[in-house]
């Protein structure tokens, strides 16, 4: 372990939350189940409804997939840790958790910028939208988002693996994150600080710039509209995305660009909770409640499900009462006889 990972530590202890662990377990478990149900429901809804087979919902289905993976990379270990007396994670497990957390988190940041660009094309250039956002282009943008997330994470992970961790092994966090990990290293972390500042800064700044420019052009388009109904419709299609962007980038900016982010302690944990738990849980509700097309599709799906359940219950009641389902046919046959 010491030679392969340049570390004398075999494991870390995640301090996490020391108070009200049973209550926090229930809250986080309900939050995680809500995240799974909401995002899986969004994916199924988009895949099974042909009316939602358009670029924005294609991106939204990948956003829901990222939210599931992003949350799962943290929540499963967090829930197990809340039930254990001592929340221990191996060195390799810690690096693995950080890798997947960073991959899905960075990819989501880039994908949110891609979705802003998609809204720009749909509103600013509606006549050329179907050509500019063909299925091939959408696929390339999604693959590019995953590639950017993977490349960024490989650089961070490689920089972490070069460090030596010789004690203590107590991580003041509920998951393996770069800032608290760097505090435990007895090596020079200058390179890690530079990689974090350059890579994270580049990803966030370019993504935010793409979002700001896209929405600036959208606002110019809205102001040029004469119809109040048209302006309201355009704004309603963008408001859900803006809310998701504000939640994600707000917590990420506090987490990584806080002047004392390494020593933020409970403030860093709070920001990380918003990033890893609250945002993935709220995203499907933001898009479903603020999007008319999703609401109508969800309502039709629920009505169809309730109709099937009601018909199944009616058949069961008739069977329990001793009335076979083909009783009407039997009565007609007797009448003919």
Q: Using an 8 Å Cβ cutoff, are 279 and 251 in contact?
A: yes
Please report the pLDDT score of residue 330 as a whole number: 47
Cα–Cα separations (whole angstroms), residue 330 to 92, 248, 312, 323, 325: 70, 63, 21, 11, 10
Please report the pLDDT score of residue 35 as a whole number: 94
Per mean pLDDT, which of 94-98, 238-242, 271-275 is the most reliable? 94-98
The answer on pLDDT for 7 being more than 60 is: no
Please report the pLDDT score of residue 337 as a whole number: 45
List pLDDT tens digits, range 39-85: 998 899 888 888 888 898 899 999 999 999 999 999 999 998 888 87
Structure tokens at 224: 């040029």
Please, what are the domains in the chain?
11-309 (1.20.1070.10)
- What percentage of residues in the chain have a pLDDT greater than 90? 28
pLDDT band of 260, cuts 50, 70, 90: very low
> What is the rounded CA–CA span in Å between residue 170 and residue 186?
14
> What is the rounded CA–CA span in Å between residue 72 and residue 64?
12
> What is the rounded CA–CA span in Å between residue 175 and residue 17?
11
Please report the pLDDT score of residue 148 as a whole number: 93
- The mean per-residue pLDDT over the stretch 187-200 comes to 84
pLDDT band of 305, cuts 50, 70, 90: low
Q: Using an 8 Å Cβ cutoff, are 284 and 42 in contact?
A: yes
Q: Using an 8 Å Cβ cutoff, are 233 and 287 in contact?
A: no
Nearest one of 174, 184, 199 to 256, comparing CA atoms: 199
Could you tell me whether strands 11-14 and 170-171 are parallel, antiparallel, or unpaired per DSSP bridges? parallel
DSSP readout, 102-163?
Answer: HHHHHHHHHHHHHHHHHHHHHHH-GGGHHHHT-HHHHHHHHHHHHHHHHHHHHHHHHHHHTS
Please report the pLDDT score of residue 301 as a whole number: 67
Average pLDDT, the chain: 81
Q: Using an 8 Å Cβ cutoff, are 149 and 107 in contact?
A: yes
> What is the rounded CA–CA span in Å between residue 247 and residue 194?
26
Count, residues in the chain: 337
List pLDDT tens digits, range 197-244: 888 888 888 998 999 999 888 888 888 777 776 677 677 767 788 888
DSSP readout, 235-298?
Answer: HHHHHHHHHHHHHHHHHHHHHHHSTTGGG-THHHHHHHHIIIIIHHHHHHHHHHHH-HHHHHHH
pLDDT band of 1, cuts 50, 70, 90: very low
Structure tokens at 242: 């803006």
Nearest one of 185, 189, 198, 180 to 260, comparing CA atoms: 180
């Amino acid at each position: 372990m010491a030679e392969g990972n340049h570390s004398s530590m075999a494991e870390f202890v995640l301090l996490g939350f020391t108070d009200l662990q049973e209550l926090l377990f229930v809250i986080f478990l309900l939050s995680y189940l809500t995240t799974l149900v909401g995002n899986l429901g969004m994916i199924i809804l988009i895949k099974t409804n042909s009316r939602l087979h358009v670029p924005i919902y294609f991106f939204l289905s990948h956003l829901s997939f990222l939210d599931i993976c992003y949350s799962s990379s943290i929540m499963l270990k967090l829930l197990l840790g809340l039930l254990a007396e001592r929340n221990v994670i191996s060195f390799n497990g810690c690096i693995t958790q950080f890798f997947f957390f960073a991959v899905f988190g960075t990819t989501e940041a880039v994908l949110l910028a891609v979705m802003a660009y998609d809204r720009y094309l749909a509103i600013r250039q509606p006549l050329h939208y179907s050509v500019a956002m063909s299925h091939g282009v959408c696929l390339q943008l999604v693959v590019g988002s995953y590639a950017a997330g993977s490349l960024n994470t490989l650089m961070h992970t490689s920089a972490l693996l070069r460090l030596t961790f010789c004690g203590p092994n107590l991580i003041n966090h509920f998951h393996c994150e770069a800032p608290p990990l760097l505090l435990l290293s007895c090596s020079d972390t200058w390179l890690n600080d530079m990689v974090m500042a350059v890579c994270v800064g580049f990803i966030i700044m370019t993504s935010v710039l793409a979002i700001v420019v896209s929405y600036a052009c959208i606002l110019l388009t809205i102001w040029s509209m004469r119809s109040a109904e048209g302006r309201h419709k355009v704004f309603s299609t963008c408001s859900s995305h803006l809310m998701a962007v504000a939640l994600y980038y707000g917590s990420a900016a506090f987490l990584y660009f806080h002047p004392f982010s390494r020593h933020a302690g409970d403030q860093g944990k709070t920001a990380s909770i918003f990033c890893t738990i609250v945002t993935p849980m709220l995203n499907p509700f933001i898009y479903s409640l603020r999007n008319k097309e999703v609401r109508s599709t969800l309502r039709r799906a629920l009505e169809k499900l309730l109709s099937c359940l009601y018909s199944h219950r009616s058949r069961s009641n008739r069977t329990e009462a001793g009335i076979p389902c083909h009783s009407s046919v039997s009565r007609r046959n007797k009448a003919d006889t």
